[in-house]
């Protein structure tokens, strides 16, 4: 580059010949890096003999040391010329007028450019070849501009190797950055270190600060006979310095080394570089080569940068692994939780849902993630969305119970929404737990009923027992009195009415006693459809009296099950009586029976019977009370019908469920195991 610039100067400004020197400040030399118009001999001398600041007192050195131009009209004759100047003139067969201009950058001279014109030229063309003030200024201006380009080129040449290394480092970093597997990363770290440094062999030692020992993790370029199960103390030189002081150790000549390395080539040099992770030495990278000069200043500097980058990558992989295992743990919790878990962000968008939510709301996480929470909760499930919205708005945990229908089943869901804050106490979302409490509710309801029944049963049995004797006393006394007083007419009718009432009370007492001390179940195999038909037949009088249409629909002609058939008969009798009593004149009562997968192995294992009427229905407030003993809305009802039904079904491990709409009718569903 310098020669090109110089030749341009000679052509443009009409100089005879020229030379360009760069200043090697370390060696204090002016070194020729470009010539123009020189004879072969002169060029050889100039190129091979640098001018030393301390030894050569010549025009070139003086010009380089001055910060401005130097012009010597006659370098063979003058007061300031030294012996060396004259010697140089002589070497080049005499010299013409000389002009040296400094090459400067950031206020410092880094070289000089010299041009020459022969006085003979001046003689041949008088006035034309004189170096005028204007010539000097023009050259100065040109050189000032050229200096920038020269300086850049000089710096580039000086750092080209380092730049190449850094570019390669960047590439390697990019390639290693995507590796998330620690074993793979370790192998690649060593392989790239070998290719980067051109080392012939190498190893990676893993350090354990707890035991203060390192073990050999990986080897490259060693014969297969090399032992690999090596552990060494980290308190031993030179590993000690590398590990504890995190210093790089270069052993330039292994043959002259006073100590032996646990893994080492026979001769050559070895470098040990610490790889740090969280300020501790996690590993030591060992690289070996026959020639120690490959680990020069630039190479070691680059290897240091490489090791620090690698430390960061190890940190990343460890972090990634930790995050992954935390994530897996959270996923496992989410997957195995028996409750539905739904996480929404601060804006109400779904971040994650677990399989239980997918099951309850019949949805797929892939379809809802990232969407607003109301996509899951439509229709009557919207109540859940409102709970989440309320939690978000009030930033307060919320707990509520929600009823909703899933595939014809009415479920009771307990919804708990929790506000989630981040580390800076900023609201970051809502976690909602949704628990299906239908079964628990049903069980506790039936438990409550049973307890109530037991208490009332005991009390009723006591009262009934106490009433029984006086009642039979009253009955016989009235009978005797009627006879003795020979009652007739009005009196006889009144006496008979009293006896009838006493009789009705006697029947009620019998009923109460039967209810409080039930007979044990007598299990036999029977056809439920036949039982239903018998019940309808037994109620013909009532059915006809109210002109009720009874529709019987059975999925199968016969449906056998093992149960106490008399008690089951009693259940349907009660339900049908209730249905008829609730119906309007001319109304319809339906009875449906079908097989159902009552057990969880999927095979039809149970029977479901539904008794439906389109009558008065049950007001919502009464729904929870209808199975209570003595709850009745009828004038002559005992309120024991449904209590007995529920008790019998429970004794059979079955289910009794009611759905009713006030004014529109009711459906009683019984599920029994086969």
Ligand X SMILES: Nc1ncnc2c1ncn2[C@@H]1O[C@H](COP(=O)(O)OP(=O)(O)OP(=O)(O)O)[C@@H](O)[C@H]1O
Q: Tell me how far apart the alpha carbons of residues 146 and 12 are, in angstroms, rounded to a whole number.
A: 14
- Candidates 128-136, 307-315, 365-373, 575-583; binding stretch for ligand X (CB under 6 A): 575-583
**Range list of β-strands (E), 492-647:** 524-527, 549-554, 560-563, 588-596, 606-613
CA dihedral 530, 532, 538, 544 (to 10 degrees): -120
Nearest to 629 by CA among 515, 548, 517, 525: 515
**632 binds, options Mg ion, ligand X, none, Cβ within 5 to 8 A by partner type:** ligand X
Which residues partner with 435 through β-bridges? 414
Work out whether 348 is an interface residue with ligand X (CB under 6 A): no
**593 binds, options ligand X, Mg ion, none, Cβ within 5 to 8 A by partner type:** none
Encoded one letter per residue, x for contact with ligand X by CB under 6 A and - for no contact, window 133-152 reads --------------------
CB 284 within 8 A of CB 274: yes
Nearest to 315 by CA among 175, 180, 217: 180
- Candidates 116-124, 206-214, 464-472, 624-632; binding stretch for ligand X (CB under 6 A): 624-632
Work out whether 456 is an interface residue with ligand X (CB under 6 A): no
How would you list the strands of the sheet with 51-52, edge to edge? 51-52, 29-36, 17-24, 108-117, 97-105, 70-72
- Exactly one of 196, 637, 669, 673 binds ligand X (CB under 6 A); that residue is 637
Encoded one letter per residue, x for contact with ligand X by CB under 6 A and - for no contact, window 520-559 reads ----------------------------------------
- Exactly one of 618, 656, 670, 672 binds ligand X (CB under 6 A); that residue is 618
Nearest residue to ligand X, scored by beta-carbon proximity: 641
Work out whether 640 is an interface residue with ligand X (CB under 6 A): yes
Work out whether 446 is an interface residue with Mg ion (CB under 5 A): no
- Exactly one of 634, 661, 663, 664 binds ligand X (CB under 6 A); that residue is 634
How far is residue 56 from each of residues 19, 52, 60, 85, 97, measured CA to CA in Å?
17, 5, 9, 9, 20
Of the two residues 311 and 615, which places its CB atom closer to ligand X in the complex? 615
What's the min distance (Å) between Cβ of 647 and ligand X?
A: 11
Work out whether 639 is an interface residue with ligand X (CB under 6 A): yes
Of the two residues 372 and 637, which places its CB atom closer to ligand X in the complex? 637
- Exactly one of 116, 436, 564, 613 binds ligand X (CB under 6 A); that residue is 613
Neighbours of 166 (CB within 10 A): 14
Does a cis peptide bond (omega within 30 degrees of 0) precede residue 238?
A: yes
**568 binds, options ligand X, Mg ion, none, Cβ within 5 to 8 A by partner type:** none
Three-state secondary structure readout of 332-397: HHHHHCCCEEEEEECCCEEEEECHHHHHHHCCCHHHHCCCEHHHCCCHHHHHHHHHHHHHHHHCCC
What's the min distance (Å) between Cβ of 650 and ligand X?
A: 15
Residue 258 phi, psi (nearest 5): -75, -20
Of the two residues 72 and 582, which places its CB atom closer to Mg ion in the complex? 582
- Candidates 193-201, 295-303, 465-473, 576-584; binding stretch for ligand X (CB under 6 A): 576-584
**Range list of β-strands (E), 118-209:** 201-208
What's the min distance (Å) between Cβ of 563 and ligand X?
A: 20
Of the two residues 360 and 575, which places its CB atom closer to Mg ion in the complex? 575
Q: Tell me how far apart the alpha carbons of residues 171 and 175 are, in angstroms, rounded to a whole number.
A: 6
Total site size for ligand X, rule CB under 6 A: 22
Of the two residues 352 and 638, which places its CB atom closer to Mg ion in the complex? 638
Of the two residues 120 and 633, which places its CB atom closer to ligand X in the complex? 633
Q: Tell me how far apart the alpha carbons of residues 312 and 317 are, in angstroms, rounded to a whole number.
A: 9
Site residues (CB under 5 A) for Mg ion, limited to 551-610 = 578
How far is residue 508 from each of residues 497, 630, 635, measured CA to CA in Å?
17, 12, 15
CB 368 within 8 A of CB 353: yes
Work out whether 641 is an interface residue with Mg ion (CB under 5 A): yes
- Candidates 56-64, 451-459, 470-478, 640-648; binding stretch for Mg ion (CB under 5 A): 640-648
**355 binds, options ligand X, Mg ion, none, Cβ within 5 to 8 A by partner type:** none
CB 649 within 8 A of CB 659: no
What's the min distance (Å) between Cβ of 570 and ligand X?
A: 11
- Candidates 14-22, 166-174, 450-458, 611-619; binding stretch for ligand X (CB under 6 A): 611-619
Nearest residue to Mg ion, scored by beta-carbon proximity: 641
Of the two residues 193 and 640, which places its CB atom closer to Mg ion in the complex? 640
Site residues (CB under 6 A) for ligand X, limited to 227-246 = none
- Exactly one of 578, 591, 593, 647 binds ligand X (CB under 6 A); that residue is 578
CB 133 within 8 A of CB 141: no
CB 75 within 8 A of CB 98: yes
Q: Tell me how far apart the alpha carbons of residues 391 and 47 are, in angstroms, rounded to a whole number.
A: 85
Nearest to 385 by CA among 437, 345, 348: 348
Neighbours of 447 (CB within 10 A): 11
- Exactly one of 158, 476, 633, 653 binds ligand X (CB under 6 A); that residue is 633
Pairing of strands 588-596, 549-554: parallel
Work out whether 582 is an interface residue with ligand X (CB under 6 A): yes
**631 binds, options ligand X, Mg ion, none, Cβ within 5 to 8 A by partner type:** ligand X
The tokens for 101 are 């201009």
What's the min distance (Å) between Cβ of 606 and ligand X?
A: 23
**613 binds, options Mg ion, ligand X, none, Cβ within 5 to 8 A by partner type:** ligand X
Read out DSSP for 590-606?
EEEEEEE--STTSS--E
Of the two residues 46 and 645, which places its CB atom closer to Mg ion in the complex? 645
Total site size for Mg ion, rule CB under 5 A: 2
What's the min distance (Å) between Cβ of 541 and ligand X?
A: 16
Contacts 24+ apart (CB under 8 A), 165-174: 165/196, 165/298, 165/299, 165/302, 166/302, 166/305, 168/196, 169/196, 169/302, 169/305, 169/306, 169/309, 172/196, 172/306, 173/309, 173/313
Work out whether 588 is an interface residue with ligand X (CB under 6 A): no
Work out whether 642 is an interface residue with ligand X (CB under 6 A): yes
**618 binds, options ligand X, Mg ion, none, Cβ within 5 to 8 A by partner type:** ligand X
CB 46 within 8 A of CB 116: no
Of the two residues 354 and 574, which places its CB atom closer to ligand X in the complex? 574
Which residues of this protein are in contact with Mg ion, per CB under 5 A? 578, 641
Q: Which residues bind ligand X (CB under 6 A)?
A: 574, 578-579, 582, 613, 615-618, 626, 631-634, 637-643, 666
């Amino acid at each position: 580059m310098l020669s090109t610039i110089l030749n341009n100067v000679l052509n443009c400004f009409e100089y005879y010949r020229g030379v360009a020197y760069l200043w090697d400040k370390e060696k204090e030399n002016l070194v020729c890096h470009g010539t123009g118009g020189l004879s072969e001999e002169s060029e050889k001398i100039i190129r091979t003999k640098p001018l030393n600041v301390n030894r050569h007192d010549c025009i070139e050195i003086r010009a380089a040391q001055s910060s401005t131009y130097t012009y010597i009209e006659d370098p063979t004759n003058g007061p300031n010329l030294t012996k060396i100047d004259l010697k140089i003139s002589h070497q080049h067969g005499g010299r013409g007028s000389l002009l040296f201009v400094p090459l400067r950058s950031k206020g410092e001279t880094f070289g000089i450019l010299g041009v020459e014109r022969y006085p003979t030229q001046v003689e041949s063309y008088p006035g034309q070849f004189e170096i005028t003030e204007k010539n000097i200024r023009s050259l100065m201006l040109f050189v000032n501009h050229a200096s920038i380009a020269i300086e850049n080129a000089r710096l580039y040449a000086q750092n080209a190797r380092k730049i190449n290394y850094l570019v390669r480092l960047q590439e390697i970093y990019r390639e290693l950055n995507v590796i998330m597997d620690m074993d793979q990363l370790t192998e690649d770290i060593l392989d790239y270190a070998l290719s980067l440094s051109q080392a012939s062999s190498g190893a990676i030692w893993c350090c354990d600060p707890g035991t203060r020992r390192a073990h050999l993790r990986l080897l490259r370029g060693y014969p297969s006979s090399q032992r690999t199960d090596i552990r060494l103390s980290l308190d031993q030189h030179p590993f000690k310095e590398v590990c504890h002081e995190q210093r790089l150790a270069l052993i330039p000549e292994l043959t002259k080394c006073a100590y032996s390395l646990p893994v080492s080539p026979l001769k050559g040099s070895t470098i040990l570089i610490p790889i740090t992770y969280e300020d501790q030495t996690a590993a030591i990278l060992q690289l070996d080569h026959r020639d120690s000069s490959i680990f020069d200043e630039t190479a070691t500097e680059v290897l240091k940068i490489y090791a620090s980058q690698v430390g960061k990558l190890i940190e990343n992989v460890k972090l990634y692994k930790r995050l992954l295992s935390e994530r897996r743990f959270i996923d496992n919790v989410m997957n195995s939780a028996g409750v539905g878990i739904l996480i929404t962000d601060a804006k109400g968008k779904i971040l994650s849902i677990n399989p239980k939510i997918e099951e309850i709301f019949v949805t797929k996480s892939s379809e809802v993630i990232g969407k607003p929470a109301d996509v899951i909760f439509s229709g009557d499930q919207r109540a859940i969305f409102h709970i989440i919205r309320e939690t978000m708005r009030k930033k307060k945990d919320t707990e509520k119970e929600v009823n909703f229908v899933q595939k014809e089943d009415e479920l009771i869901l307990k919804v708990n929404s929790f506000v989630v804050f981040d580390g800076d106490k900023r609201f970051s979302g809502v976690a909602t737990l949704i628990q299906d409490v239908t079964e628990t509710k049903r069980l506790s309801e039936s438990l409550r009923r049973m307890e109530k029944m037991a208490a009332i049963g005991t009390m009723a049995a006591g009262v009934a027992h106490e009433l029984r004797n006086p009642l039979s006393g009253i009955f016989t006394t009235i009978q005797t009195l009627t006879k003795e007083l020979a009652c007739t007419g009005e009196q006889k009718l009144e006496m008979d009415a009293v006896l009838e009432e006493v009789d009705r009370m006697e029947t009620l007492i019998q009923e109460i006693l039967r209810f409080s001390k039930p007979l044990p179940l007598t299990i036999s195999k029977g056809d439920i459809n036949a039982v239903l038909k018998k019940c309808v037949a037994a109620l013909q009088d009532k059915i006809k009296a109210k002109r009720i249409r009874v529709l019987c629909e059975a999925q199968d002609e016969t449906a056998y099950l093992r149960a106490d058939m008399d008690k089951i008969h009693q259940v349907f009798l009660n339900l049908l009586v209730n249905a008829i009593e609730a119906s309007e004149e001319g109304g319809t009562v339906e009875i449906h029976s079908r097989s159902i997968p009552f057990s969880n192995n999927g095979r039809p294992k149970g029977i479901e019977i539904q008794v439906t009427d389109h009558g008065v229905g049950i007001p919502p407030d009464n729904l929870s009370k209808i199975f209570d003993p003595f709850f009745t809305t009828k004038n002559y009802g005992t309120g024991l019908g449904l209590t007995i039904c529920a008790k019998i079904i429970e004794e059979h491990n079955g289910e009794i469920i009611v759905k009713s709409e006030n004014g529109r009718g009711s459906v009683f569903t019984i599920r029994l195991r086969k």
